[in-house]
Structure 1
């Protein structure tokens, strides 16, 4: 089984409509249960009669910090922020009925995802699943996706996603198997939304171009937020070696009890190219702005991420990620007004010794160029992390 590239998968109809969005990861032909027992739950008569599919994984990780911070935190790195401890990051399950696209008949599908673990702390939606297990538990429980999808056979086919779903912004995403690296870029952690609630339409103009557009309740909110526009366009070359996508979200934000709406806008551009059959390159640029309110100044943030992935073997890949993220007004990362340039360099492997098990060891170096009180208990301006993640696929 060769190393394949998928696009930033939100596991919803945009992918089914042929939108090519990549992340370097290994195709999961089967999970551990099937690998050891031969049992295929999705091919049982019961599951096939329902027309649904079930899947999931467990992600356990260790983020070693040689500096031994007394507060046991790798912050401002998140997701793998727990220093020198094994952590249960994701117990993830989903059930879905894939919508049949491309035909001449209407069709309806759905998907429901459940996430338990440390990563759920960053994936909740305001006014929905923020406090299911309490105000600040070590492991949270959230439902990052709950949506219906409807296919309408007009033109080349229109697919509507209605409900709660992952963002189309950026390159990295929440589900662990979708990402080559264990840790995440600052751009994804602090500069982009994770989920939306609303409706999004997808339409393939032709075999190369797909457009999207819809209305959502802002960033990471279930309801009770003003309507925002979310949309984008993607282009893939005929040989599928190069893909370019541009996405945008813009609209008002309601600031807590101040009842003070203001605009927030973010765009993301992702270029992906197969240099050779084994060597893959990704370039991402994000830029966000937010208007001032009676309680805060205006803010701007932007960055550039670059990824280089090499397929060493069918079950082994090596990767580099270089990121520069500028929190121009100190509103996104440190959130205390301290302006900062963040530089992060990550090198790692993606190895699957057996079907159903993925190991992701990595070395990461973080540097804050403006302040020397960012890392290591707020005492230093840089840090090194030695981390590993193990994903056990169902």
Structure 2
């Protein structure tokens, strides 16, 4: 996601052709599979005779990026849990409208959502400086997202082919429009559209009993806890790490080797930060990797370590990009009980040869989610982020934010997410109307409605 245009320092103000055709070709391939009632191809010589048992629970919260990534895998029905219904399990399109009869036994499914919300800000109206994101307009209602997904998750007990088409439109698509995308650059900051995912995938029963999953195309990142799309994040607003220290989505390939039921290892190559079948820059061939490890079979504690490096792998503030980014992320998810989940995540990064030398940034946050009852969650986030030399936000200072929120989900179709948030900075960093920032602190209150179908 592109950062802001103006740059400030601690000392005060000083301040498509082939790509689209390739992406369109993939979409035609996918939709052709839908209309032809794609049938599963299972070469008998590589079917595993003793498939690993499927878990009864993923141990992940559905309103998270790890929960979104888990949708790529076809799993047995899970034990019902507290919290909102995963958007892929609402099944209004599949069951109520009867699309499951169209798809038959192919394994294809479809679902979607709509999110809109309002944010009030002490900094004034209009485009807000630095944060919050993506609800970035003060005192204004936004149609944030209209999303539609057609996907075929991968079976894990045999060779299998899948795909994922995840399309969305709205104000968030404008801020997340990829390089080379279908509306690049967006002409309207309040509305655009984008394929967040457009890839083919395969499960290969090789190397280990769990096999390997492979994805090729445009896909969501594996870095970060908070997802960009509305059903995959706990709050209406997002954290600093999400917007200034992570890669969003990219074009490239990923492999996920399932070492065993507790250990997964990701490796892949990307064309740089947020691209649609093109490179971010001439040299932006980047490496991305991640290790996920559950300490026990009960899936109480999950450790995650990630690295992403290469030219233009992470967005810089305008005019502040260097020639090589390195980002390291460490995360622990602790399921203290069926009711309480805590996440602690740290990002640190470096960008060499920027106009101000080597830029660096460091972030740390904790998120707590407490399921008060089957229809109501209480949520908390506290964060610190330091943009040394201002190469990420455009302002050379450190930030802190505290957010308190609720998630009321009276049924499987609806989530209402109110929140109150305080942001603080070492230098003037906050303001409204797109004007230069004049405030060192900012209070925002937001509420969104997420309808899933």
Please tell me whether residue 250 in structure 1 is matched to residue 325 in structure 2. no
Distance 2:290 2:102 in 1: 38
After superposition, residues 64-79 of structure 1 pair within 5 angstroms as 64-65=120-121, 67=122, 69-71=124-126, 73=128, 75-79=130-134
| Long gaps (5+) in structure 1 | 19-23
Q: What count of residue pairs does the alignment treat as equivalent? A: 374
Counterparts of 1:1-394 in structure 2, within 5 Å, are: 5-6=61-62, 8-9=65-66, 11-12=68-69, 16=73, 26-28=84-86, 31=90, 33=92, 39-43=96-100, 45-65=101-121, 67=122, 69-71=124-126, 73=128, 75-101=130-156, 103=157, 105-131=158-184, 134-154=186-206, 155-156=208-209, 157-222=211-276, 223-224=278-279, 225=281, 226-236=284-294, 237-253=296-312, 262-293=323-354, 295=355, 297-333=357-393, 335=394, 338-369=395-426, 371-376=427-432, 378-394=437-453
* CA drift at 1:13: 6.4
Change (3 A) 1:131 1:10: farther
Q: Is the 8 A contact 2:249 2:274 kept in 1?
A: yes
Alpha-carbon offset, residue 50 of structure 1: 4.6
CA distance in 1, matches of 2:268, 2:84: 31
1:294-351 CA-to-partner distances (Å, cap 9, x unmatched) read x453211110010111110011110110000100110111x2xx31111000000011
SS in 2 for 1:120: helix
> Which secondary structure does the structure 2 equivalent of 1:292 belong to?
strand
Distance verdict in 2 for CA 1:361–1:107, change over 3 Å:
same
CA shift for structure 1 position 169? 0.5
1:195 & 1:71 partners in 2: Cα distance?
Answer: 27
- In structure 2, do the counterparts of structure 1 residues 150 and 32 end up closer, same or farther at CA, with 3 Å as the change threshold? closer
Question: Structure 2, unaligned stretches of length 5 or more?
Answer: 1-56, 76-81
| Distance (Å, rounded) in 2 between the aligned partners of 1:32 and 1:198 | 30
How big is the shift at 1:135? 3.2
The two structures have a TM-score, normalised by structure 2, of 0.76
Q: 1:339–1:31: structure 2 CA closer, same or farther, 3 Å change rule?
A: same
Per-residue deviation at 1:11? 3.9
* Aligned CA-pair RMSD: 2.8
CA 267–4 in structure 1, closer or farther in 2 if over 3 Å, else same: closer
**SS state at 1:113 partner:** strand
Separation of aligned partners in 1, 2:140 and 2:324: 40
Q: TM-score, length-normalised on structure 1?
A: 0.87
The verdict on how the C-alpha distance between 1:263 and 1:124 changes in structure 2, with shifts beyond 3 A counting, is: same
Counterpart-to-counterpart distance in 2, 1:72 and 1:246: 34
